[in-house]
Amino acid sequence: MAKERAGRNALLVNSGDGPGGPALRQFLASLERCYVRQDDHLAKTGPARPADHRRNLYSLQLANLRLRWLRTGAMLPQITVIGPTQAGKSSVINWLLGENAAVASPLAGFTRHPQGFAYGGEGEAVTALYRYFDPLQARRVADLPAEDFRFFGFEPMPARLPRLGLAVTVWDTPDFDSIDSERYRGGLLRAIALSDLLICVLSKDKYADQSVWELLAMIEPLGIPSFICLNKTPPATAETVVRSLGGKWRQVRSDAMPPIVTLPYLGGNASEPPGVDALVETTRTLLRQTDRSRQCLGLMRFVRANWESWLAPVRVEQQAQQEWRALVGRAIGSASRLYRRDYLDHPHHYETFQRALAELLTLLEIPGVARVLTQMRRIMTWPVRQLGQLGRRWRPDAANLGSERSVLQQIALHVMLTLRQEVAEIAETATETRPWWLALGREIGHRQAAVLDRFSQAVSTYSREFGPEVEKTAHALYDRLREHPAVLNSLRATRVTTDAAALAVGLHTGGIGLQDFVIAPAILSLTSLLTESALGHYVQRAAEDLKKRQAAAVSCLFEDHLAANLLRAPEDMPHDTGFFIPAGTLEAAERELAAAPGTP
């Protein structure tokens, strides 16, 4: 049985694959970066970091570090000793090793870096540790700078086994309860994440500290084998403290109470207190029982236990993003309605079907003489066209008054201003997402001019590309007229085409604007003759069909060149104000988490 378990352990560790799929691993790494950015932002802006934010950041870092360690394929057992200030961690390590390897000091917060003492480890075992700690660099313990946390201590010990009798690396760690501990918390988490066995050193004065139990509660789902060393405890009070410890354990943890080894104060000239043999034997026994095949399961249990807490702010932000998409959707819907009201259904502004009728006029010319008539009318209407162009130079805005381009640009500006106002109103009442909405409002303000300019360019492109639709309608009307020779000859026999030809020529030569059609008797006459003829129903249907195609084209214009730019606004917001994790990325990570092996 032991051989089978050892084989499973070797297969797991040497695979270098670790738990979770690539989507889950990438998501966890990305999520940690988001938390770190927000943490830096909170540190710069001044408000105290919420307790939930700190716990999420530390537990997420611990998960990623544990995942990284399991993927190194390291084989040498790792023991990590943790505890609050002045609990005697360094002394306990020296008693375990049987020599003064760790530096013990009466000063609180003396140890500020993780410090490893490696027995029997060399070659790949050391290389794996260096890979794991990267970008931190290894230094001798005596050379560690007190205020620079880019290093970790590492001491390859002589080629002999420690008192434990096993090849092992033992880690001394920084405290987690002092005021400065936030500055070097990362080193503590790195040492916890690589541990096969965790020894929590407490004292009579420190065992009830809240920081102790917050840490023990956080790491519980990992399932790291552990025990408590109750140090500096007089024999007379040991039983009472142990009983109290059991009560605290049951309050914050659901697993069984671990072994407790008590060590009294070191008195007189003694180098070791009574009870060190029990400390060594407990360590040796638990370490030999370690089953690395269960560490992946423990990590997945840890991820599942913290998942919803990690994602709480992400889900709140995604709800805000959904609300933003809904705001943009409603604004674009309003834009389409305004376009229909102010242009398509406006009795004086709508000009597209009149343009189709102007095209029809050129098709109605009598075959064989159309070119001659066109040249003659171009000469005859030259003075009128010049007067029209002169009037437009005097009043440049008059040509665009009520035109489709003007209407579309006014609608786009209305959409931008409306959205900025709605975002500002939401930011005033939002609580958790207020920074996100404020940043979004600033981003929309910054990009407004660029969005309107790009939309104006898209309108020009749309106007050119929709021209064939107008010609298509004119040719369809003409083809239907050819099926009714009597109506066609009647139209050609009337003065309407002759009178309207100048208008059509003026249109093609730039002397007359499309809005002039609303007062042009020729166009009115042509419209009346067509609608009163046998083709009246078809003409109305052609006009409505052209209007529908135009409405659809403008709807795509709003979606592709206005809504799309607005929906991308959160992507360009400062990332210290939010997480900005795409919903698809989160869904892929959750699928892999659901497929990962469950807890036994």
Between 377 and 195, residue with greater pLDDT: 195
| pLDDT one-digit tens code per residue, 137-170 | 999 999 999 889 999 999 998 778 999 998 999 9
Q: Which residues pair with 229 in a beta bridge?
A: 201, 261
The whole-angstrom separation of Cα 568 and Cα 572 is 7
Domain assignment present for residue 534? The answer is yes
Residues 26 and 145 in one domain: no
User: How high is the pLDDT of residue 123?
Assistant: 80
Residues 458 and 377 in one domain: yes
Check: CB of residue 335 under 8 Å from CB of residue 418.
no
Residues 483 and 556 in one domain: yes
What is the H or E stretch that residue 203 is in?
strand 197-203
Domain assignment present for residue 600? The answer is no
Q: Which residues pair with 435 in a beta bridge?
A: none
- Tokens read off for 383: 């003075």
Type of residue at 421: Q
Ranges 100-114, 201-215, 432-446: which has the least confidence: 100-114
- Indicate the SS3 state at residue 426: helix
- Indicate the SS3 state at residue 225: coil
Domain assignment present for residue 599? The answer is no
User: Which of 27, 42, 73 is the last residue in one of the domains?
Assistant: 73
Q: Which residues pair with 73 in a beta bridge?
A: none
The whole-angstrom separation of Cα 403 and Cα 417 is 21
Q: What is the mean pLDDT of residues 247-251?
A: 94
Residue 515 has pLDDT above 50, yes or no: no
Check: CB of residue 597 under 8 Å from CB of residue 308.
no
CB atoms within 10 A of CB 600: 8
Check: CB of residue 125 under 8 Å from CB of residue 76.
yes
What is the pLDDT of the chain when averaged over all its residues? 82
Q: Is residue 41 very low, low, confident or very high in pLDDT (cuts 50, 70, 90)?
A: confident
Domain CATH number, residue 250: 3.40.50.300
Residues 198 and 188 in one domain: yes
Most confident of the ranges 90-99, 261-270, 386-395 = 90-99
Q: Is residue 392 very low, low, confident or very high in pLDDT (cuts 50, 70, 90)?
A: very low
Q: Is residue 598 very low, low, confident or very high in pLDDT (cuts 50, 70, 90)?
A: low
User: How high is the pLDDT of residue 365?
Assistant: 61
The whole-angstrom separation of Cα 276 and Cα 285 is 14
Residues 503 and 553 in one domain: yes
The whole-angstrom separation of Cα 200 and Cα 189 is 14
Q: What is the mean pLDDT of residues 303-323?
A: 93
Residue 519 has pLDDT above 80, yes or no: no
Q: Is residue 46 very low, low, confident or very high in pLDDT (cuts 50, 70, 90)?
A: low
User: Which of 73, 95, 121 is the last residue in one of the domains?
Assistant: 73
The whole-angstrom separation of Cα 77 and Cα 290 is 9
| pLDDT one-digit tens code per residue, 451-509 | 999 999 999 999 889 888 878 887 887 777 777 776 666 666 654 444 455 455 454 54
> Which residue segment(s) compose the domain that 525 sits in?
314-580
Q: How many helices (H) and strands (E) does the chain have?
A: 21, 8
251 phi, psi to nearest 5 deg: -75, -35
Residues 260 and 274 in one domain: yes
What is the H or E stretch that residue 310 is in?
helix 295-339
Residues 87 and 69 in one domain: no
User: Which of 50, 73, 96 is the last residue in one of the domains?
Assistant: 73
Residues 336 and 242 in one domain: no
Residues 107 and 56 in one domain: no
| pLDDT one-digit tens code per residue, 163-191 | 999 899 999 999 988 888 888 999 999 99
Domain assignment present for residue 593? The answer is no
Cα 325 to Cα 170, 321, 389, 472: the distances in Å are: 53, 6, 45, 36
Strands (E) in 100-156, as ranges, are 115-119, 137-139, 151-156
User: How high is the pLDDT of residue 489?
Assistant: 67
Residues 349 and 482 in one domain: yes
User: How high is the pLDDT of residue 374?
Assistant: 47
**Structure letter (DSSP) for residue 49:** P
User: How high is the pLDDT of residue 264?
Assistant: 92
Please report, in angstroms and rounded to a whole number, the separation of the first and last CA atoms in the chain.
Answer: 18
User: How high is the pLDDT of residue 504?
Assistant: 52
Domain assignment present for residue 449? The answer is yes
What DSSP letter does each residue of 89-112 carry, written as one string?
A: HHHHHHHHHTS--S---SSTT---
User: How high is the pLDDT of residue 344?
Assistant: 86
Cα 331 to Cα 66, 358, 560: the distances in Å are: 47, 35, 14
Residues 68 and 147 in one domain: no
Domain assignment present for residue 295? The answer is no
| pLDDT one-digit tens code per residue, 523-559 | 555 555 555 555 556 667 877 888 898 899 999 999 9
The whole-model pTM stands at 0.74
The whole-angstrom separation of Cα 398 and Cα 515 is 10
Name which of 181, 226, 153, 192 is nearest 85 in CA terms.
181
Q: How many structural domains does the chain have? A: 3
Residues 530 and 397 in one domain: yes
428 phi, psi to nearest 5 deg: -65, -30
The whole-angstrom separation of Cα 576 and Cα 38 is 5
**CA-based max dimension of the chain:** 130
